[in-house]
Amino acid sequence: MNTLIEPKIITGNSNPPLAKAISSRMSMLRGKPVSLIDARVERFNDGEIFVEVYENVRGEDMFILQSTSNPANDNLMELLIMADALRRSSADRITAVIPYFGYARQDRRTKARTPISAKLVANLLTQAGVERILTVDLHAAQIQGFFDIPVDNLYAAPVFALDVMHHFKDMSDVTVISPDVGGVARARELAKRIGADLAIVDKRRNNPGEIAEMTVIGDVTDRRCIIVDDICDTAGTLCKAAETLIEQGAKEVHSYITHGVLSGPAIERIEKSVMKQLVITDSIQISPEAAACSKIRTVPLAPMLAQATLNIANGTSVSSLFDEDTLGPLYQGTY
C-alpha cells in the first residue's frame, strides 16, 4: 500500500486562525514546513462562491480545513466547491477536516414531513469528492453511519481532562454535570478521566425553546460543578442549569463546551450568569465579543488536529488521540 507522507492543507473562510495554527503545529512535528496551499476563496457580487487553487495539487494528499459554522450555508458551499476544485485538479486523496460539523442536530426525523439534513450533508460531501472526514465531537455519533467513507470522530474530553486537572488540581470536591439526560455518556467520560463524581440536570419543556423546570439528579451540595456539553448555542439551557446547581448548594459552576456557537444573546447571558467560567475550543472561530468576555476562555484544538492529520497522512492510528497520555506531550506549554 502506498503511504502518503506529504499532506497539504487548504482552508476556506470559516476559521483561518485554526488553519494557520494547525499548519504551524504540523511543521513543528514534522521538522519541515507545512504551509497552506495558495488559493483564493471569494464571492461574486451576487453571492456565488468561487475557488481558484494557484498551486499544483496533482497526486497530492489534500486536507480541507473548514468548519460549517455560522454562516453555515456559505461555509458548507465553500467546502463543497473546494473539494470539487481539488478533485478536478487530480488530487490523490481529499480529506475534509471539519472541526464543527454543522447540521448535526438534524440527525433524525422528530416530526412528520421533516428532513434528515445531516444525511443530506453527508451525501453532498461524498459526491463533491471528499474521501475521508475528520471531525470533533459529533452531536450524534450515529452520523458516522450516514457516510460510506471513513469518518474519524475525535473527542474533546481528553483535552478537557488535561485542562481540568491543570486548573482544578484537587478533584475531591468536583462533580461533572450533564445538562440533560442525552449527554450523560459525554459527561461520564470526562468524570471517569478526572476521577470525579457525576450528576445530571433533567430539563422539561412546555414548548420548544422554553424550559419549564429543571431538576438535579445527584447531590451537588458544596461541590465545584463542571457542566459538560458539545454545543453552546444561545446559552439559555446552560445558564439556567448553572442557576439550578447554585440553588441546590453548589459552591461554583464551570462549563466545558466543545463548540461555542454562541449565537443571539449567548454572550450577554454568559456574562450575567452565575457561572464562574465557560471553556470552549476553537473549533469555531471566536468572535471579538466572545474574546472580550471575561468569563469565556478557549483551549486550542490545533495540537490534536495537527497530529490526527499527520496520522491519517501516514496511515497510522487516530484512536491513539483518544487518550490524554498521548495528548499530554502535545499540549505542554499551551496552558
Give the angle subtended at the CA of 205 by the CAs of 202 and 209, to the nearest 5°.
115
HSE, CB side, 13 Å, CA atoms: give it for residue 164: 32
Q: Say whether 328 counts as a known binding-site residue.
A: no
- Has 203 been annotated as catalytic? yes
Residue 163 DSSP class: H
Q: Say whether 108 counts as a known binding-site residue.
A: no
Q: How many Å apart are CA 222 and CA 209, to the nearest integer?
A: 30
Q: Which residues pair with 255 in a beta bridge?
A: 227, 278
Which residue matches cell numbers 465579543? Answer: 289
Q: Say whether 173 counts as a known binding-site residue.
A: no
Q: Decide if 158 contacts 323 (C-beta within 8 A).
A: yes
Cβ neighbours of residue 16 closer than 8 Å, sequence gap 6 or more:
285
Q: Say whether 233 counts as a known binding-site residue.
A: yes
C-beta neighbour count of 56 within 10 angstroms? 10
Q: Say whether 46 counts as a known binding-site residue.
A: yes
Q: How many Å apart are CA 205 and CA 328, to the nearest integer?
A: 40
Q: Say whether 12 counts as a known binding-site residue.
A: no
Q: Say whether 244 counts as a known binding-site residue.
A: no
How large is the C-alpha radius of gyration of the chain?
20
Terminal C-alpha separation, the chain: 40
Q: Say whether 61 counts as a known binding-site residue.
A: no
Q: Say whether 205 counts as a known binding-site residue.
A: yes
Write down the catalytic residue from 8, 119, 192, 203.
203
Closest CA to 56 of 130, 97, 6: 6
Q: Say whether 78 counts as a known binding-site residue.
A: no
Q: How many Å apart are CA 250 and CA 24, to the nearest integer?
A: 41
Catalytic positions = 203
Can you say which residues are annotated as belonging to the binding site?
Answer: 46-48, 105-106, 139, 180, 205, 229, 233-237
Can you say which residues are annotated as belonging to the binding site for D-ribose 5-phosphate?
Answer: 205, 229, 233-237
Can you say which residues are annotated as belonging to the binding site for ATP?
Answer: 46-48, 105-106
